[in-house]
Amino acid sequence: MTAGVLQLDNLSVRLRLPGGRFVSAVTGLSCTVRAGEVLALVGESGCGKSVLASTILGLLPGNAQVRGQVWLDDAAARTELLRAPEHELATRVRGRRIGLIPQSAGTHLTPVRTARSQLAEALAHHGSEGGGAEIASRVDELAQQVGLDPDDLYGYPHELSGGMTQRVVTALALAGNPLVLVADEPTAGLDRALVDHTVDLFRFVAGTGRAVLFITHDLAAAGRVADHLAVMYAGRLLELGPAREVLADPWHDYTRGLLAALPSGGLQPLPGHPPSLTELASGCAFHRRVPGECSGDPTLTWHGGRAVACR
Amino acid sequence: MSLTAVDVTVGYRREKPVLDGARVTVAPGEVVGLVGPSGCGKSTLARVLALLLAPWSGRVELDGECATRVRHRAPRRLRTAVGVTFQSPRRSVDPRFTVADTVAEPLRSGGAPERDVEARVVELITRVDLARDLLSRRAHEISDGQLQRACLARALAWQPRYLVCDEMTSMLDASTAAALVRVVNDEVAERGMGVLAVSHDRELLDVWADRLVDMVP
């Protein structure tokens, strides 16, 4: 097992609302993303997944309060991201050490410029040396890295298929050669073939030695690609472990509930609704929604290579 | 008795039909799954059957009656007999409306007496398991899942005999998707509503639909 390149340690994030109330988006969350691996973070809408992505990238709004640590440990340095100054994040971390693959690739690209010119701009911005010819050859290289024919890059975004657009956006995230990729709901609203295509691309990117954090509500997509699976509910991790083991034998009631809601599990919805993150009481939010055996302590405890809450 | 498209040819640009002689039929109490890859015309056929798009040729028959007009020109008795839900709830509601207004919209435009509207709206949102305190919120103040529940409540407002679900669940997480499918199935079981479920997700339709219709581009 390789060392973690992105390590979240007891991370809590809350957002202050007018009137002194707080949204507890992330609570006491710890996990590790390793080089060459995909960690999928799954959970229902509104469980705090996207706030986690913003936290890692240093893009939280001004009303956020953060505790804990986020360590980025790659060839460049070992950096604690929460205390790094914005200038360092902007000039040395975002795009260069951590790449972002956004939701809805199609709208992420500028519609009035070719894919090639957008990739060339990203490379130039990240400080690629040399003139136009050299950058052009770097663009071709980047395109090949994600399985694109360099000639396709002469198209405008609307001329590219969904799969090609997804590749262009991935190439953009790789332009600064980051070791870590954070993908925030990259497959939302895509059809199944394109979802499969996109997550297979993550598998490929991880195969080049990168660490991928894949944030999604799509458990089927996560199961297809993830090495490790983290299941999040109301801001906390309830289960964490090797994806194959977690899916084959889920330990937490919530993971079981999510699997049962899939078509392959019989389309059984979980009773009730996810709680509002503004009014979280202490203790286990999930077992307040769905009664079950619970120690009342939603902290992860480790048993071998897997961790589960509420035991 | 059925909702049927007979030899429907239609498109969006002259001489470039998206559908050419398409046929599909939905019987009461039946869930028909319409599958096919992106761009094969599934949504276009759904729009034709939901009386939102007039075919160039061919026709839509609703329980034996031929629907000759679409959208607001369709007579009320036909318009209220078919409900429809779309993939993106956010793009299918008026952002200025509250959840209560959204669900009440077809009731009001269909001429339901105002004194009945409020009670009916509460009944509908209970049906889709939305909390009552969301009624005064606007679309941007609730989640996609909650908004899609409101859109399903809106589609069921007149207890339609047929429901067209165009990718109703593809933006939702698994649990919300399963919950909405259950609401639709309850209507099928209780009052024999017929459903055309359009999706690219064959795995979902294999479980949900009684039979599948495959569309090829």
Domain boundary among A174, A194, A214: A174
One domain, residues A39 and A88: yes
Contact A13, A66 (CB under 8 A): yes
Among chain B residues, the shortest Cα distance to A195 is held by: B201
Output the pLDDT for position B39.
77
Residue B177 touches partner A, C-beta closer than 8 Å: yes
Residue type, B73: R
Residue A191 touches partner B, C-beta closer than 8 Å: yes
One domain, residues A199 and A259: yes
pLDDT in tens, A116-137: 999 999 999 887 777 788 899 9
Q: Which residues of B are less than 8 Å from A263 in CB distance? A: 201, 203-204, 206-208
Selected residue of B175, B188, B199, B208 to mutate for chain A interface (largest A Cβ count, 10 A) = B175
User: Which residues is B67 bridged to in the sheet?
Assistant: B60
Output the pLDDT for position A1.
44
Domain that holds residue A272: 4-97+178-308
Is the pTM higher than 0.95? The answer reads no
One domain, residues A191 and A113: no
Six token digits for residue B4: 């049927």
Residue A243 touches partner B, C-beta closer than 8 Å: no
Q: pLDDT tens per residue, chain A (311 residues)? A: 456 799 999 999 999 988 888 999 999 999 999 999 999 999 988 888 889 999 999 999 999 999 999 999 998 899 999 999 999 999 999 999 999 998 878 788 999 999 999 999 999 988 777 778 889 999 999 898 888 889 989 999 888 887 888 889 999 999 999 999 999 988 877 777 788 888 999 999 999 999 999 999 999 999 999 999 999 999 999 999 999 999 999 999 999 999 999 999 999 999 988 888 888 888 899 999 999 889 888 899 999 999 999 98
CB contact under 8 A, B207 and A46: no
Selected residue of A165, A192, A198, A216 to mutate for chain B interface (largest B Cβ count, 10 A) = A192
Residue B207 touches partner A, C-beta closer than 8 Å: yes
Output the pLDDT for position B57.
96
| DSSP states along A48-117 | SHHHHHHHHHT---TTEEEEEEEEEESSS-EEEGGGS-HHHIIIIIBTTTEEEE-S-HHHHS-TTS-HHH
Q: Which residues of A are less than 8 Å from B177 in CB distance? A: 261, 267
pLDDT in tens, A196-205: 888 999 999 9
The C-alpha atoms of residue B195 and residue B161 are separated, in whole angstroms, by: 9
Contact B98, B133 (CB under 8 A): no
Q: Which residues of A are less than 8 Å from B38 in CB distance? A: 162, 191, 193-194
One domain, residues A266 and A227: yes
Residue A102 lies inside a defined structural domain of this protein = no
**Number of independent structural domains in chain A:** 2
B188 pLDDT exceeds 60?
A: yes
The C-alpha atoms of residue B184 and residue A156 are separated, in whole angstroms, by: 41
Q: What is the mean pLDDT of chain A?
A: 91
What percentage of residues in chain B have a pLDDT greater than 70? 100
Give alpha helix (H) positions in chain B.
Answer: 42-49, 76-79, 99-109, 114-127, 144-155, 174-191, 202-208
Residue A83 lies inside a defined structural domain of this protein = yes
Record: fold of B3-214: Rossmann fold (3.40.50)
The C-alpha atoms of residue A203 and residue A208 are separated, in whole angstroms, by: 9
One domain, residues A111 and A205: no
Q: Specify the CATH number for the domain of residue A196.
A: 3.40.50.300
One domain, residues A118 and A147: yes
B8 pLDDT exceeds 50?
A: yes
Those residues whose C-beta lies under 8 Å from the C-beta of residue B40, and which sit 6 or more positions away, are B215, B216, B217
